[in-house]
Amino acid sequence: MNDENILSHYRDSIDNIDAALVFMLAERFKITQAVGKFKAQSKLPPADPNREDMQITRLRQLAKDAKLDPDFTEKFLRFIIEEVIRHHEKIRDDK
């Protein structure tokens, strides 16, 4: 296999992983939208700092176990959490 074929093979794998990530995030956001609607109907706050802290701690440990930078993992998760909270606030405000 020449260098171009090797690189192409790696890139194909990366493309497949990226596609899986997008579909997993889409599924996650479908579920968090349902959570947001439930919270709005139940008059619960959009954010749950205790849950968020527990998730970050749990995922930092998973990152360490997977040999992935826990700081990167936390930044990524915080970005997702902020987006989820923003969606929950919008759902609440639209009610």
Dihedral of the alpha carbons of 93, 37, 41, 47, in degrees to the nearest 10: -70
Q: Is the pLDDT of residue 17 over 90?
A: yes
Residue corresponding to tokens 């579909």: 23
pLDDT at 1: 77
| Residue 85 pLDDT grade (very low, low, confident, very high; cuts 50, 70, 90) | very high
Q: What is the pTM of this model?
A: 0.85
The 10s digit of each residue's pLDDT in 18-55 is 999 999 999 999 999 999 999 999 999 999 999 999 99
Percent of the chain with pLDDT over 90: 92
